[in-house]
Amino acid sequence: MLPLDHPVAPLTRLTEDEAMFRDTVRKFAREQIAPHVREMDETAVLRKDLLKQLFALGLMGIDIPEQYGGQGGSFFQSILAIEELAAVDPSIAVVVDVQNTLFSNAIQRWGSEEQKRSFLPRVASEVVGSYALSEAGSGSDAFALATRARQDGDSWLITGRKLWITNAAEAGLYLVFANANPEAGYKGITCFLVERDSPGFQVGKKEDKLGIRASSTCELILDDCRVPAANVLGEVGKGYKVAIETLNEGRIGIGAQMLGLARGAMEHAIAHAKQRKQFGKPIGEFQGVQFDLAEMATQVEATRLLVYNAARLRDVGEPFLMESAMAKYFASQVAENVASKAIEVLGGVGFTKDYPVEKLYRDAKIGRIYEGTSNMQRVTIAKQLLG
């Protein structure tokens, strides 16, 4: 495990407040989350007591302004928290990720003052948020939405099904994207804030997944779900902008999740290489193992540079579209590669559930898929390069 005070590049150097925040989250993850990771993975259930602790620590409203009950932190601090949580359990990390980089972020950017006062204090203190865009026929083609919305007096009626929705089982609020004017194509897409107890709304089947199992992934069923007109986020027909611009920021969050995962796997490999002996000496003294660790460390540091750079750009208001795509694309590759190599360093025990690296390997696979597949990130990067 790398010491906390090891030399860092200027881009990854933290302010005193950022370092204190990181250390607090790291301590919480190692002491409070780590003992329950295997149980949550096997049962595919997020412990309610841990969820309450996430709220109590302010990790579910990191960059929500204090006037709305949040911590008044930065987007970059959200990224630090996601990284530290993912080093112990990527399932917990993605809960915090969606809450901060997608859900509350969208309300802060697109919500009216009334919506901010109504929803943000709840999101910061007790209510989990969920982001419902994907459908059976709308994955990478995000705007091929079949879910429809029609106005009925001072309400909207939404009908359709959403699939693969993160945080759906625990959430009390959902950002639901539906097309209010199909003839206008993607310019009819509208974003709605939907309460869990809304008439016509139901959380459906929970998916049985390969990895990040404690993070719920469910379908949502909307059957003439009635939503007040005041719950339209942004403008009618401008939901595509909410989706695109929020996901650009969310991809930095996924990059942080994959960074933390890779770092966690590497730390397990380093610790094992120091302790495990073969032929009378620690396996870390063999050059073959040293080369693997060196490659892992280089990949993790390169990922950190990409992720931190994208987050810093976002915080200072500079363009970050290409950088966020690069961070997400590269981090997902590194997470899978490093977790795989960590299993090999641990050898036979690394292939068993008695050690955490096999879980991290399973958790890593989703990084290439959700919030934009690796191919979609490559398309985005190429388009930016070609102008």
Q: Which residues belong to the active site?
A: 371
CA pair distance 339, 327, nearest whole angstrom:
18
Instruction: Label each residue of 306-372 as H, E or C.
Output: HHHHHHHHHHCCCCCHHHHHHHHHHHHHHHHHHHHHHHHHHHHHHHCCCCCHHHHHHHHHHHHCCCC
Residue type, 359: K
Q: What are the tokens at 306?
A: 């990409």
Q: What angle do CA 30, 34, 38 make, to 5 degrees?
A: 165
Q: What are the tokens at 329?
A: 């694309």
Contact by Cβ (8 Å): 273, 350: no
Alpha carbon 253 to chain centroid distance? 5
CA pair distance 133, 372, nearest whole angstrom:
12
CA pair distance 170, 269, nearest whole angstrom:
33
Return the closest-CA partner of residue 168 out of 120, 200, 216, 205. 216
CA pair distance 149, 151, nearest whole angstrom:
7
